[in-house]
Chain A
Amino acid sequence: MKSPDELFVQSRNAMGTVFTIYLYAHDGELAGVLFESAFEEIERLEEALSNYRATSELSRINRLAAEQAVTTDPEVFALLQTSLAYSRRSAGAFDVTVGPLMQAWGFFRGEGRYPTDAELERARESVGSEKIYLDRATRTVRFAAPGVELDLGAIGKGYAVDRAVKVLREAGVKAALVDAGSSTLYAMNAPPGKSAWTVHVPRPGDRSQTVSTVALRNESLSTSGSYEQFFQLDGRRYCHVMDPRDGVPVQGVLQATLIAPDGTTTDAFSNAMFVMGPEAGSKLLATVSGARGLWILGEPESQRLVQWQWQDCAGVGDGDAQTLVTKREKGKEQIAR
């Protein structure tokens, strides 16, 4: 008789974080082969989408697209199309051109400083998805001005999670959890004897406390948070998540968590949810099939929960979460991609 599958786990550094894959396999040798092919796919995408590696396709586009239309492959082009579509759907709250603003606020160096008006003005001139021209007929990318640059940091990890899941599914894996730095994960099926994978949404600032426990199966969950990186300036607390629309870091939001069918969508739109807040954010989620959202607002010492469709899948520990009643927009629901 065939022995039951065992759980295996492996972590590797990729895309500026740690990817961890949990999977069930018959033996360690098979698990090794499966890890290798899933991580190879993640590594392939890092080599395409990284903007730290000079050899990546994204770096090539960033180097050349202000001077000429740059042809790229259908996969990268499609991800850029998705990124711009997500920018439009979120009215600019999700924006892959936000890099120059992050730079102006000193976030790339892991610090924070208030930029001068001139610096802010200059950065704003290079930010906005309307400054990216995509030509479908020639599959080319062109920037409207010098200084514009693409940063897929808020969507690439989710896309890599989706692709790794696809590799594992095609290799016949029955149950797996693919996790990109704990901020975006996908639960494929469920562990043997269980109906779902269990995911805990932590209290901002204290990962040992759970505010909600989610049963996740064949869906993705992403969390955007700001509580680990703050800086104080003139008595105000700024986080490291930028609102691309006004060029100022978001205030008053501690964490946003989104459940949706795929990682590309949850990665990008958990970020948009964070920037938009619950009122506008829930209207965005109403356009995403199967989406559920949970916001934690306020300050680390006085937190407030707001949920949208969240109770469909999970309980909220505090019991006193405010529930938004934004209706799903019938007929306006869109497939994620």
Chain B
Amino acid sequence: MNRREFIGRAAAAGGALLLAENGESRPKAPSDQINLGIIGPGSRGQQLMRTFLRVPGVRFAGLCDVYEPRFAAAREITKENTPIYHDYRELLAARDLDAVIVSTPLSLHSQHEIAVLESGRHVYGEKSLALTVEECYSIVDAVKRTGKHFQVGLQYHYAPWYRETLRRIQVGKIGRVTQVYAYWHRNNSWRRPVPNGSDKKLERLINWRLYKEYSGGLVAELGSHHINFANEVFGSMPEMVVGSGGIDFWKDGRETQDNVQVTYRYPSGQTLVFSAITTNQLDGAQVRVYGTDGSAVLTESDAIFYYEPKRPQSAVAQQTIVEHGIVTGASYRSEMPYRGPGESVSVPKDKQGSPDYVACASFIDSIRRNQRPEADEQVALAAGMAVALGNQAIDQGKRIVFSEHSRQT
């Protein structure tokens, strides 16, 4: 995808937001009901279920998992006896499905999503796109082959304050953007409780994020959101990545790193630095966008702009020097970080909404109007490839060049 396509898509997203919040996507007739299935109603899947059920005319017609307790939890959300399936192929054999949410462990995305697409259903696929670059491309190919809609679960792509921030950046409010520094800093083990007496297999299943068989670790589960935003700011996917990371604190049998640092270079000489740690949460989750005239700092719930000191100095100050002379002394220039206030991004009332809600409502809207989702398979590919190659850079300890792994879709 080129820069113009990227920017064109970003501009269109504003319209989709408005539709979603005003409830335009409500069904016109009972036959407009959208029946959803879900493969993998774990913690994230359950949150998606609740959110999709806030969209008018949406119903869950099938729940699929391999872990029995998930069915009761998911039925508690639908508050009905939604049919359950232990095998995704049985779910896909059901007749009344329009689309399927895939919120399974990352390594299973391509298998599940391609099967859903081949069965003639649209996909809402959790991020990241897939574990390997090859799997990413195989999903993109399947979307093209089947002509079905695919939306990736990068919900911040739809966050109203992210859209507004991107718009301001694109009209030049902070000058030329050269760097994005993004953090996802936590202070916990990233583990989930496992029922007493569970065997190792169940522990690996519940804590799949910690095992390489299933997971792309912190870069995939947390970094993908920030990488996607940097892709939007820079108008393309990266061209090169280096990385480091390790299991340095939580030596509890996990296989994915408990801290990662990846640096991506973009084609026009811009840089994204992403850091995720699990031992300190001072910085939380935030994206800092640095431009020559200012900065934008985005969090899970807001965005703030800061502006650089104006250049050049005013004529009045110059005149003072001419009349009174200049004082000499030791060389000094303050490089203290700025600690003053910024300018909050306010979102108009009719464009407010949670990232999850706007993302889910937009997906249903795409199905009803038969329009491409904003965060489609190309957006997913750009972020998903960066995740997969970022992990390769960490694991192999070498610089990875994107062009050696990419191909036309």
Contacts and interface: CB of A to CB of B under 8 A. Distances in A.
Interface in B22-55: 22-23, 26, 43, 47, 50-51, 53-55
Interface stretch (B125-133, B186-194, B269-277): B186-194
A68 B23 contact: yes
A70 B301 CA distance: 23
B4 interface: no
B195 A172 contact: yes
Contacts of B78: 74
Nearest to B69: A170
B77 A75 contact: yes
Interface string B43-86: 10001001101111100000000000100000001110000000
Consensus secondary structure, chain A interface = helix
A63 B53 contact: no
Given A29-B252, A32-B189, A171-B195, A63 B352 contact: yes
Interface in A118-177: 138-140, 170-172
Nearest to B197: A172
A88 interface: no
B355 interface: yes
A322 interface: no
A148 B402 CA distance: 55
B306 interface: no
A73 B196 contact: no
Nearest to B46: A44
A64 interface: yes
A29 B189 contact: yes
B378 interface: no
Contacts of B196: 172
A140 B57 CA distance: 11
Interface residues of B, number: 33
Nearest to B350: A63
B347 A54 contact: yes
A55 B53 contact: no
A65 to B, nearest CB: 11
B363 interface: no
A78 B77 CA distance: 11
A73 B189 contact: no
A56 interface: yes
A322 B187 CA distance: 51
Contact of A55 (B26, B188, B193, B301): B301
B191 A33 contact: yes
A179 B23 CA distance: 38
Given A54-B347, A64-B23, 10 more contacts: A33-B191, A40-B43, A47-B354, A55-B357, A64-B21, A71-B54, A71-B57, A73-B54, A139-B53, A170-B195
The 10 closest A-B pairs by CB, nearest first: A171-B193, A55-B354, A74-B79, A73-B53, A172-B196, A71-B56, A73-B50, A33-B191, A54-B352, A73-B54
24 contacts: A30-B193, A36-B189, A55-B353, A56-B354, A57-B54, A57-B354, A60-B353, A60-B357, A63-B352, A64-B22, A70-B23, A71-B26, A71-B56, A71-B57, A72-B54, A73-B50, A73-B54, A74-B78, A75-B50, A75-B77, A138-B56, A139-B53, A171-B193, A172-B196
Interface of B: 21-23, 26, 43, 47, 50-51, 53-57, 69, 77-79, 188-189, 191-193, 195-196, 252, 301, 347, 349, 352-355, 357
Interface of A: 29-30, 32-34, 36-37, 40, 44, 47-48, 53-57, 59-60, 63-64, 68, 70-76, 78, 138-140, 170-172
